[in-house]
Structure 1
């Protein structure tokens, strides 16, 4: 073999091993390319390092950084990505079409320090093998995905971890993991909206070697007393929308707390339904244990009456406020969506003749509504007074029984009262009888102008849905309970009327009549960014007057 031929063969062998070496060091990227429905446009050829693939950084032909955030990638993560042994950073943030589980063998990437997978649609359990003691991870972001199951205890292996964000996933409800206190390097912890429950351990903020500076635990089920202890590193803590009853003053005077809101986060029985908990303005959520203590174990001495729905108990809150607890009996329990809808409607009704809703309980299979207590005599006395005002169900006089349809009757009377601007009985004239006698469906506004409140007459040209409103009120006050709609049907019909009148059913009933289009664009939202999303949809009207 000539020297020239020998040199040529050596050159071929060199290039062959170079190609094999590059392929071995980058085939994890090739696997990612194959797994994506539409990979980045310039990902062409076989060598991501030699042709400068977008989002890929190399060092001596070794991939050390993959940063592909906000590129609208679609597909799943391949297991072969674990072959990128020199990878330091893996960032696939904000690709909402990135789905599927997390490959467990990512735990083989010993040099990985940054693991950013927030704002995607990753699902399934986080594998325990994902985090090993051989890894050098410092930043783990898995927020805003669809991850489920337990938060893996293997995170405890990451002794160099400085930031952990697992917020807004679908993890199984649990206490705050005890191993968090052992992560001495952890400075930022975000665990928002993942159904954490129970008391925050005293050791959480008081760990001797703790480096915690920022802690976000809002929108969970945390309760009881919170003790910040003597932590010298804490700078910011956000615990909004929990059920913590007492805060012990932190030793660190410059500690910033997340702005507290009057909106209560419900104790919602997540084990029995898939409906999200209601988020309400000025209405508090109570646990079953709260109500049991308030009502003296629901004793006979606290029982003030009841009906077809269930029993009503008198109770006293720790603040000393008296309450009435309306506890549904087993045969009257609603579905989660229906109960949520009722709570959201009642929380927005403010009227001088309607008892104010203070809170609710949906815990341990129980459904309770908590109202302010009217201390003027017994329930029978209060009902007698109410009957003089015209709200009492006519069937009560024959049966001495109050049912859910009795509530519907009273609500119908209130609807007519809102039209007249007067109490139900004035000078011996009962609003129900007066409307029925005066009404003429063949004429404009049913020819009820002389009965209407002057403020309604002033808007005579803009009374869309008026007739349907009157129809609904009258069917609610039908003399026979069997002919009345359920309260859930009334809610849906009111939403239907509001929707077709150009009003926003999601807004406060006392708010100005902005158009639905304006409201949907966010103009003048009376609750700002914290307004709740209403649960019910707009049905086709099915209630017909009898």
Structure 2
């Protein structure tokens, strides 16, 4: 017998070894197939060779496969495509001190959705081959030293949502092909040396909401067709030279415009009637050659800023400027305005402690003030250079005729009175300023953030709305955000230094997945739009202290964490299943061999026939209970567990299955079956059958859903 059994086992081992060899070969072929597309891998190497990586951020770009090895800044799709390869989804290389050039091979990343080289030191031109990436959604090249013209080929990017090439040295003109960017919402071309006219063809961009081309060398006329842009919120063209162009009267037809900024554009003619724009917040037409009077019709009640300074306007201030509840800045200095100043500009206003109104009327010809000269808190008035300052008939104006502007902008964070040494500052932990729990110490994420074109000039009244806006966009609690500092920059743009803190319900630091989620929200520009805050830009996402070793690419999205895990799990499961099958085959052969001997040797196995009591096969009862699934268990007693089962004839039964330590001898089990088969009472469930196979002892009873006396006290059915 031993010789036979050893032969069977040897057969099983050989079969198992053969199957494992096949499985190993399959995994090798599978791993070889699930690598980055060779053309894209080659393109990434060419991109690296064109860059100068002074900080050695891309040191792992020479190791392994781009997607499988989590190359810095390279994010790939989760799934393998029909070509059997992985493809690059994002190239995120912002703020890495990279210099050198952009390689034409970028155009070979054919499935790319995000191309981000913001805030580096790149030179050279923008490769026209980028226009081949039809899948591209975000093209972010701002904050470099790129030169040359904008390639016409970029107009082929039919899926592009955002084009940011601002703050470079780009020359040439705006390509007319940009009219083909049918899904673009953001064109940020500001702070370059772009010349020529704005193509009237841009009026075809039905999805465009932000057009920022300020601080360039644009010339020609302002295209009246821009007023046909149905979704445009911000039109910012400051500091260009439009050849004494007039502001088209059609600009009063903008239906959704929030901000119109045409400062220092060499414009002439009259100020158009803009009263029909229902949600205009911000109007800046300063430093031009505008003439005529201020329009008599009232602007939107939402307006925060009116700047018509440094023009050639005449006439008087009309009631159209009065009674504007959210007005923060009224700048009319350096014009030829005359007449009286209506006190209704500042009267009847209830200013909160965070509100402010700055009125600058210097260097005009105002001779009188109509109304109460008593100013509410937080209102500043500047009248220097007007006849009113020298008139003896108007007392108490001297304090408004100096050079002090007043009204400096401040923001104070709440301070907590906590033990100085209790928070480990050296490890970049600090107290959470707005924490509901006093002295909660945590490690913040530090973020450089800038509003590129806000629709206000004074931030404190909008601090709370901004905090609500940002925390909602990031799915955080309000107390988790702290605006550490902010400052206005040329533009005007509002630069901030933000800190984000973990929640009280978790540890004192964000886990890796949460850091990645937050950063992904910033870099993917998935925030819902905000008219008042306008577009933003991420300046830096600084990882210090406990976050300093975090790799943004080591995440479940990557192949190593997702697909590779599935491969390994699948391979292990396959190996286990194959081994189990081989083992079962061997054991069954051994069992059949043993069974043939037991017929002669085991005289205790008695054939028994009792009326009304059936002998069940083990397989029958296993299938009836979903192989004794925990979902079918209805109880447990001293002898074992009780299961609810449904037989092949749809009879519902209760099966009592004895535990290994409760198994009886053959004769004792048969004796128990005979005894139970004779018991009949209305409060006792009836025995239907038994099972005595494969080392199991089980008793099968009728199933009583609401339970009987015996069911409540002990069991329903047993099968061992």
- Same fold per superposition (TM over 0.5): no
Larger Rg: 2
Q: TM-score, normalised by structure 2?
A: 0.35
Higher RCO (CA 8 Å, separation ≥ 6 residues): 2
